[in-house]
Structure 1
Amino acid sequence: MKYLITCLLAAATTATAFAQQRSMKLWYTSPASATAKDGTSPWKDDPAWLQALPIGNGNIGAMVFGDVNQERIQLNEKTLWNGSQADNDNPEAAKYLPEIRNLLFQGKFKEATELTNKTQICKGAGSGHGDGSKVPFGSFQTLGDLRLDFGKSSRCAGYQRSLQLDDAIVRVSYEQDGVHYTREYFVSAPANVLAVKLSADKKGAISFSATMDRPERFTTKATANELVMSGALNNGKGGDGMKYMARLQARNKGGQITYSGNQLTVKGADEVILYLAASTDYLPNYPVFKGRDFKGLTAKALRTATSQSYTQLKQAHVKDYQRLYNRVALQLADDTADDVPTDVRLQRIKETGNDNHLTELYFQYGRYLLISSARKNTLPANLQGIWGNKTLAPWNGDYHTDINVQMNYWPAEVTNLGELHLSLTNFIQRLEKPATRSAAVQFGGAGWCIGPIVNVWGFTSPGEHPSWGLTAGSSGWICEHLWEHFAFTRDSAYLRKVYPTLREVARFYMGWLVKDPVTGKLVSGPASSPENAFEAPDGSNGTISMGPSHDQEVIQELFTNVLQAAEVLQQTDPFLDKLRDAKNNLLQPQIGEDGRVLEWAKPYPEKEPGHRHMSHLYALYPGNAFNETQTPQYLNAARKSIEYRLQHGGAQTGWSAAWVTNMWARLKNGPEALKAFNIILADKSAYNLFNLHPPFQIDGNFGATAGIAEMLLQSHESMITLLPALPAAWKNGMVNGLCARGGFVVNISWKEEKLAAATLHATKGGGCQVRYRDQIVVLNTEAGKDYPLDALLR
């Protein structure tokens, strides 16, 4: 039943009403061990690291172990990469494209694959086959460790270690030798420093030495008033590359502080505050990538931080953080939920199968991690966000564009952290220069394009093997984020800024697409369907084809977004007419005889029926072309595709299970969405809740957070849908502050699995439809006003 409401209501007293929610924290009754379980060096695989607690401000990251006698704080600076800029575009590649396409159209997959493998790769070493630390591609690296040695070996009592999500502070408390000790750790965004406060309830009880080190290429020296670690990383060409510096200072009440040799020493203090600043000389100014005054910036940061009281520093940190974090509240568990340590909860869910409080915690933890690793004026969150303990991060810790970096930002808009999305959108625009070169040199085309891996040095070439490295859809997929920020905010000034970038990537695809000689439709290729393989008709193992569904879906969505953007901005351009014609002539994804969406243009059998990637379902999520309103036939086909993947062992990685959570939510199947999410909690979460591929990849944390939001609110079908995939396990609850496309913020509460109350806040104003089950209200909103949705309760 539809109710038409013309809303000309009085101004609401507040933009969005937030319900009070209980404190959210990760907490434990023991420290994370500072050494690996086998007693070897902490620089090797380190299970203790997955117990440590993360803090960060988008520039500086730290992992707090909380050891009583020998504390380890592992450090990161997000721009710290070895390697350097290199020429990787292959000028010989483009001339072979017509021949490869003809071979594929003729069904000669073996010959096409052999030619592709020889010609359609990057020049040089590429990503080093996953070891970029030895080549110019480089790797995200640990800054090192801040180590505090208290000179004791005695045991402690009453130990507790926690990360409070409400204020982004790690706290440690314990009793030792008759003294009660407390510590606080946080990374301030306003001051850009790590702060550590050590306190005791007896005077003169704090004594320790502090050192800084890293696995390689460093010098640590004490000056008159600080400890400095500095060095230069390997540039991958046999010389020095990026320079870095970390400065440590201490302030004390009582006792003595001395700086000597390579350490800072504290004796007999009542209280000590440590301040650490870090920076590199990296600047995103292609092709130089140097010029930041890292020495001056670190010195200034320490002057600013130490010129104020610790209380002032902490208050500014909390205010800045809560400005973002407090926008969304979620309550799924009742007030009787027992308070047990986080690691105990994780063990228990393996038996219980569900824990609503742990779900709340994981959701807000995902938002916390995004706030801590993706501030708008920093590099984007990488494969590990901002936290990594090695000189060679898994997959180089780079930006994989065949799902991973995109998944990092899935929760940004819907969980009310839209400005953090700018760390990615700005990065995309900075890639446009090298990507324009790649389009011209590697593919002989106009516009710009990127491959499935990019780094901080402007690497935009294909990877070193076409089976995964020739992913033509990467450019369009990452540009979905340029459009999504506008879709949620309706910020026309932002859209005007990114429109040329969108237009130029569409221009690349206009030259890349070719006409299928049989169907007459436009198809992408040669291209993979990340990262699956198929049995080709000629008996060969195929990865490359023409018109894989993933590419066709991504390109159609990109063309749609560019045309919509042009309409909003009132652009007139003959190119847009050609784009519209091309969009209408794209080969559409096919549905096979068994009712599934075909991964490739023809029904080739998958080599891995349970593959972790579900690339051919892009149009279900994060895309939206498969929807109930316009394309219901694809929804059923997508459901069958997911079921088939899962029956054959799909979603076996943490991030893949997060993707499945979102897809079941889009299919409005709450029980299956929750089942996929609970697999993450039971099988793919470290004790510190880091999501495990394995190894740790932060995209699974972010994807799962987005999945929870998608179960409660959707806005991709030209309307806002409340509680579209509410599982029975979430019987009663509320969520405030989620965002919907069109510039709306929504508060929802429910009881006995039924909507109890809802309010919509319009940030921009304009028309919208809101749906709950079979009821729809139509609103004509004004900017800044709140609209109760009582009509949906009839």
Structure 2
Amino acid sequence: MKMKASNQASMRGSKRTLPTGKCRIWFDREAAVWEEALPIGNGRLGGMVFGRITQERIGLNEDSVWYGGPRDRNNPDAARYLPEIRKRLREGRLQAAQELARFALSGVPETQRHYMPLGDLLLQFQHEGAAGGDAADPDAADYIRELDLFSGVATVRYTVGGIMYTREIFTSYPDQVMVIRLTADRPGSISVTARLTRGDARYFDELVRTDHRTIVMRGNCGGTGGMDFRAALRAKAEGGKAQIIGEHLLVRKADQLTLLLAAGTTFRFEDPEQEVLRILDAADQHEYAELKERHITDFRSLSERSVLQLSADPELEALPTDVRLERMKQGQADEGLIAVYYQFGRYLLISSSRPGSLPANLQGIWNEHMRPPWDSKYTININTQMNYWPAEICNLPECHEPLFDLIERMREPGRRTARVMYGARGFTAHHNTDIWADTAPQDIYMPATYWPLGAAWLCLHLWEHYLYTMDIEFLKQALPAMEEAALFFADYLEETEDGRLVTNPSVSPENTYILPNGERGQLCIGAAMDSQILHELFTACLEAYRIIGSEHELRGTFENILARLPQPAIGKHGQILEWLEDYEEAEPGHRHISHLFALHPGRRITVRGTPELAQAARVTLERRLAHGGGHTGWSRAWIINFWARLEDGQKAYENVCALLAHSTLPNLFDNHPPFQIDGNFGGTAGIAEMLMQSHAGEIHLLPALPAEWPAGRISGLRARGGYEIDLEWEEDQLREARIRSLRPGVCRVRAAGSFRVFHNDEPVEVRIAEDGVIEWQAAAGAEYVLC
């Protein structure tokens, strides 16, 4: 069953603040390495455009090109030895417990499958304007390489010998093809040799022609049960001559040329070659202008829903993106680049996660390594979840759908993992999964492997989607997965001597504690993050029962568990406790800050609702940062969201700047290091959280506005409860807000200053609560203006 994401908040005819011009990243030179290239994608098919003058390289990815096939990696000895591991932990025999866990709780084999590149498209150009006609390194002038973040089109333009050459490259979601358009301002000037490659040619089986202008790469992803893949390239020349010689597709002296590329695997298609040729035939029926228009119309329908405008300096906008980024690394301000970074994060989610695709992995879809860092799969103790933090608030709910599909596919293997390894009902997953929805533990790595909360956290994304859309039909589809994830813990949790229910064993990802005797450990009982996730999950299930009107037999069980979970506690430094005991940390500046889950993305710690815990969260952050925390891109992005939730605009802004200055690559990709995409998504979500929040039962406008953003506007943010919001502010104060309501109900808004509410230019009767929140009865489909 596929759970379709709702986008009820984007209504036809609503007023929007649309961009007045381009929003782009651009460069005045070729890309030397992957991290300088321009990413394009349609969710399933991705490319990295290097923009090289003589030999262009377009790195190719297809989201289902993964090594090997599905396996049952559940450790058959886990259930037998689980009681002994728990006993050793209760008795304080830490090293003995960890040793046995390595043997009995690790997957067999220990690793899941890994993501792989599809290959490369290489284009060798002969420039008619160059000296001799085919100079290897022609002198090029007026070079520009740019990516339009609203249209999703990458452009390379330069002049050689008085002839201007232009390339336009995009990956179309409507037509499921990559399109490369080559033109020149003098007829007969396009001469190019195209070739599909994959590594040093040992990673594919053969290249074959299917007609005089179409060539197909055939191969297998390798490993037991490895999938077959196909990539097909077709030339559509206007003027000149196209032919295939050996493995090369040659076009000579064309006026204009369109190259079409399609790819697929047996993960989706019984006969992927037949499918990719069908896709090419369908796209071939359209002229280039029509393909481009179809792509841009589709892409803009998503990219322009939310637009951020901050004060921008025209002189800075005239600088290449990498130059602007380097200025920020030197400590200079560039608010316009921060706005571009916001749009770039939304662009990346649109390009790497669309309905029908797999979810965005650790690198989105853009990976050049046969064996990538961390396998470029789904790390679900923060990274995959962070990828989807912008999906709802930044108005891309459809892009959330591939994650929902993965959760659904995880349920059956997760049931087997729960039953075989833990003797439990429900379904569970650990800190990684892959294309096959593998739920057995990954690695033999004590700080991370033995953590069974992955499915529980993922299922909270289903609940979040409901909260933003208020779509009861979606909730009915999502509840069984949420319920199964919670049911696992009805069997897994253990009772402490004081009657609390805790996880045993678990870890606090991926940190190490120090016992009073100096012993270091990771395996533990009742990590704080576990209880915080479970509080959110059991609360969500119980609330869903109430909304749907279901008197389910598990209600009483879940209520009992919820009441007995450990509560957030404060330690000797004034910090939120990370473990049940107030242990010292081996790395006080550790990249994971898991015990602040209840602050973000959870909703339990709030500035006004739990002021003491909010202060303790502040202390926790200050201690982490004082000891070097935030040294990875995704960690810095999480810190932005934490400060935003604490309503500290200056701290949030400082960390936005730090993210760009220290953890951002020349093409704006996030740098862990190395490149992984989660920091882009977390940073984008953090910027949105600075401008609007809705987790505390109200819509809070400009909750963490820094002094450096005295004026600006943002359109299309989405709030829980079913609202879409445009904001405009001047001189550090909210000037106007437009709130569009999905459903009838009480709309509660918090904002600094005094405001009146209008609907159709008529004043609306509002109530001002004691805490300063204004509220009124909103009608479905209505727009309200605060001014």
Q: What TM-score range do you get, normalising by the shorter chain?
A: over 0.9
The answer as to whether partners of 1:411 and 1:702 remain within 8 angstroms in 2 is yes
Displacement, 1:351? 2.4
Equivalent in the alignment of 2:297: 319
Is 2:609 aligned against 1:624? no
Equivalent in the alignment of 2:174: 190
The answer as to whether partners of 1:15 and 1:784 remain within 8 angstroms in 2 is no
Equivalent in the alignment of 1:221: 208
Equivalent in the alignment of 2:484: 504
Displacement, 1:335? 6.1
Is 2:58 aligned against 1:73? yes
Equivalent in the alignment of 1:45: none
Aligned 1:284-299 pairs, distance under 5 A: 291-299=269-277
Equivalent in the alignment of 1:717: 696
Paired letter, 2:70:
Q
Question: Which of 692, 697, 706 in structure 1 is aligned with 2:676?
Answer: 697
Question: Which of 566, 590, 599 in structure 2 is aligned with 1:587?
Answer: 566
The answer as to whether partners of 1:108 and 1:538 remain within 8 angstroms in 2 is no
Question: Which of 500, 507, 514 in structure 2 is aligned with 1:528?
Answer: 507
The answer as to whether partners of 2:496 and 2:502 remain within 8 angstroms in 1 is yes
Q: What is the CA RMSD across the aligned residues, in angstroms? A: 1.4
In structure 2, the gaps of 5 or more residues are 1-10, 127-134, 753-770
1:189-229 Cα deviation digits (max 9, x unpaired): 00000001100111111111100010233122233230111
Paired letter, 2:336:
H
Paired letter, 1:671:
Q
The answer as to whether partners of 1:222 and 1:260 remain within 8 angstroms in 2 is no
Equivalent in the alignment of 1:471: 451
Q: Distance in 1 between matches of 2:22 and 2:713?
A: 15
The structure-2 alpha-carbon separation of the partners of 1:442 and 1:764, relative to structure 1 and needing over 3 Å to count, comes to: same
Displacement, 1:121? 1.2
SS of corresponding position for 2:448: helix
Aligned 1:635-650 pairs, distance under 5 A: 635-650=614-629
Q: Distance in 2 between matches of 1:382 and 1:95?
A: 34
SS of corresponding position for 1:361: helix
What fraction of aligned residue pairs are identical, expressed as a percent?
41
Q: Distance in 2 between matches of 1:241 and 1:776?
A: 58
Equivalent in the alignment of 1:160: 144
The answer as to whether partners of 1:258 and 1:266 remain within 8 angstroms in 2 is yes
SS of corresponding position for 1:212: strand
Give me the TM-score of the superposition, normalised by structure 1: 0.92
Paired letter, 2:328:
I
1:88-112 Cα deviation digits (max 9, x unpaired): 1012112322222232222222222
Equivalent in the alignment of 1:212: 196
The answer as to whether partners of 1:516 and 1:522 remain within 8 angstroms in 2 is yes
Equivalent in the alignment of 1:230: 218
The answer as to whether partners of 1:82 and 1:138 remain within 8 angstroms in 2 is yes
Paired letter, 1:14:
G
SS of corresponding position for 1:265: strand
The answer as to whether partners of 1:353 and 1:682 remain within 8 angstroms in 2 is no
SS of corresponding position for 1:121: coil
The structure-2 alpha-carbon separation of the partners of 1:528 and 1:337, relative to structure 1 and needing over 3 Å to count, comes to: same
1:572-612 Cα deviation digits (max 9, x unpaired): 02311111111011111221122101110001111111100
Q: Distance in 1 between matches of 2:458 and 2:101?
A: 24
Paired letter, 1:172:
V
Q: Distance in 1 between matches of 2:573 and 2:281?
A: 67
Q: Distance in 1 between matches of 2:518 and 2:639?
A: 31
The answer as to whether partners of 2:428 and 2:453 remain within 8 angstroms in 1 is no
Aligned 1:274-423 pairs, distance under 5 A: 274-283=259-268, 291-334=269-312, 336=314, 338=316, 339-423=318-402
Question: Which of 601, 604, 607 in structure 1 is aligned with 2:583?
Answer: 604
1:718-757 Cα deviation digits (max 9, x unpaired): 0000000000000100111100001100111110100111
SS of corresponding position for 1:221: strand
Q: Distance in 2 between matches of 1:205 and 1:347?
A: 37
Equivalent in the alignment of 1:9: none
The answer as to whether partners of 1:107 and 1:537 remain within 8 angstroms in 2 is no
The answer as to whether partners of 1:16 and 1:737 remain within 8 angstroms in 2 is no
SS of corresponding position for 1:50: helix
SS of corresponding position for 1:724: coil
- Higher alpha-carbon deviation: 737-746 or 225-234: 225-234
Q: Distance in 2 between matches of 1:684 and 1:738?
A: 26
The structure-2 alpha-carbon separation of the partners of 1:751 and 1:775, relative to structure 1 and needing over 3 Å to count, comes to: farther
Displacement, 1:419? 1.3
Displacement, 1:395? 0.6
Q: Distance in 1 between matches of 2:722 and 2:92?
A: 48
1:450-472 Cα deviation digits (max 9, x unpaired): 01010012311112323310112
Paired letter, 1:217:
Y
Q: Distance in 2 between matches of 1:200 and 1:721?
A: 52
The answer as to whether partners of 1:222 and 1:264 remain within 8 angstroms in 2 is no
The answer as to whether partners of 1:186 and 1:195 remain within 8 angstroms in 2 is yes
Displacement, 1:539? 3.6
The answer as to whether partners of 1:337 and 1:357 remain within 8 angstroms in 2 is no
The structure-2 alpha-carbon separation of the partners of 1:96 and 1:630, relative to structure 1 and needing over 3 Å to count, comes to: farther
Question: Which of 517, 527, 538 in structure 2 is aligned with 1:559?
Answer: 538
- Higher alpha-carbon deviation: 335-344 or 565-574: 335-344
SS of corresponding position for 1:501: helix
The structure-2 alpha-carbon separation of the partners of 1:13 and 1:188, relative to structure 1 and needing over 3 Å to count, comes to: closer
Q: Distance in 1 between matches of 2:443 and 2:321?
A: 42
SS of corresponding position for 1:241: coil
In structure 1, the gaps of 5 or more residues are 1-11, 34-47, 128-136, 284-290
1:284-309 Cα deviation digits (max 9, x unpaired): xxxxxxx5431222111111111011
Paired letter, 1:669:
D
Q: Distance in 2 between matches of 1:336 and 1:145?
A: 37
Displacement, 1:538? 4.7
Equivalent in the alignment of 1:42: none
Q: Distance in 2 between matches of 1:747 and 1:464?
A: 45
Equivalent in the alignment of 1:43: none
The structure-2 alpha-carbon separation of the partners of 1:475 and 1:260, relative to structure 1 and needing over 3 Å to count, comes to: same
SS of corresponding position for 1:234: coil
Q: Distance in 2 between matches of 1:20 and 1:100?
A: 58
Is 2:671 aligned against 1:671? no
1:452-496 Cα deviation digits (max 9, x unpaired): 010012311112323310112222111110110101011111110
Is 2:493 aligned against 1:513? yes
Question: Which of 704, 724, 739 in structure 2 is aligned with 1:760?
Answer: 739
SS of corresponding position for 2:584: coil
Aligned length: 744
Equivalent in the alignment of 1:18: 17
Equivalent in the alignment of 1:780: 777
Question: Which of 396, 402, 407 in structure 2 is aligned with 1:428?
Answer: 407
- Higher alpha-carbon deviation: 348-357 or 302-311: 348-357
Q: Distance in 2 between matches of 1:752 and 1:520?
A: 54
The structure-2 alpha-carbon separation of the partners of 1:670 and 1:615, relative to structure 1 and needing over 3 Å to count, comes to: same
Q: Distance in 1 between matches of 2:19 and 2:677?
A: 28
Paired letter, 2:123:
L
